Amino acid sequence: MKILADLHVHSIASGHAYSTVEEIARAAADKGLEMVALTDHGPAMPGGPHEYYFGNLRILPHRLHGVEILQGVEANVMDEKGSLDLQAVYLKRLDIILAGFHSICMKPGSRESNTAAMVSALQNPYVDIIVHPGNPDYPIDAGEVVRQAKRAGKALEINNSSFLVRRGSRETCFEIAKFVRQYGTWVSISSDAHFSSSVGEVSTALQLALDAGIPENCILNLSAARVTSFLASRGRKRFAGGERELHE
């Protein structure tokens, strides 16, 4: 099994990543990927781009080196209400919206408060995928989060980089993965690349998903076509022909 769409990649615009859009696209092409999502951090992340950056993503080509480029963001969840650090006027222009928890933007809380915040983020109409939900710094009720993701038609990520930089992630990710199998929730197997050579490198995350028994039909980014269908169902203008628009 090969993951053909990497939905979590950072460029130099994030402030602590080291490759350009051109370098990312070329690396994706060299590895046979069909699609890559450019998802730089939201503006609340120190060193991250100004919100105008996200408004200007529209100038990027939709394809580079034969790879489809999604214009996105890894927005920061700011509070227990699931508020994001990017205004709706920018969110509604993007192709894909990831939401993540970072301690510099929202301090970890109790298991109950972390779960409430993650569920609230899932209920935010702009959010497509919750990234690195297995971060052990934010203990959660994994079953409740996976159930709510299924109910909302959203995806949860198994983040390949977590196994390198977030000690203890494997146990929580495996627990999430088992509930994904049980409830049939969407899962995204992504790199969280901060350098071009890491684009598409998801082998550890994919193996965990397979070990947990997640079926292929739950893996959102197995192909570009599956991602496109998902985003069309979410009302993203680029893929839904502008027929409907997400509203707050």
Exposure b/e, 212-235, CB count within 10 A at least 16 = b: bebeeebbbbbbbebbbebbbebb
Token readout for 171 is 């146990």
Identify the pLDDT of residue 247: 36
Which run of H or of E encompasses 187?
strand 186-190
Homologous superfamily of domain range 5-240: Metal-dependent hydrolases (3.20.20.140)
Residues 226/233, Cβ–Cβ less than 8 Å = no
Which run of H or of E encompasses 229?
helix 224-233
Distance CA 114, CA 80 (A): 7
Identify the pLDDT of residue 241: 72
Residue 88 has phi, psi (to 5 degrees) of -60, -35
Q: Where are the alpha helices (DSSP H) in 86-202?
A: 88-91, 111-123, 142-152, 162-165, 169-183
Identify the pLDDT of residue 74: 99
CA 94 to each of CA 6, 63, 73: distance values in angstroms, whole numbers, following the listed order: 16, 15, 8
| pLDDT tens by residue, 71-87 | 999 999 999 999 999 99
Identify the pLDDT of residue 167: 81
Residues of the chain with pLDDT under 70: 242-248
* The model's pTM: 0.95
Distance CA 145, CA 141 (A): 6
| pLDDT tens by residue, 168-187 | 899 999 999 999 999 999 99
Identify the pLDDT of residue 188: 99
Which contacts (CB < 8 Å, 24+ apart) does range 224-233 have?
224/4, 224/5, 224/34, 224/35, 224/68, 226/5, 227/5, 227/7, 227/35, 227/70, 230/128, 230/155, 230/186, 231/95, 231/96, 231/128, 233/153
Residue 112, sorted as left (phi over 0), alpha (psi -120 to 50) or beta, turns out to be: alpha
DSSP bridge partners of 37: 70
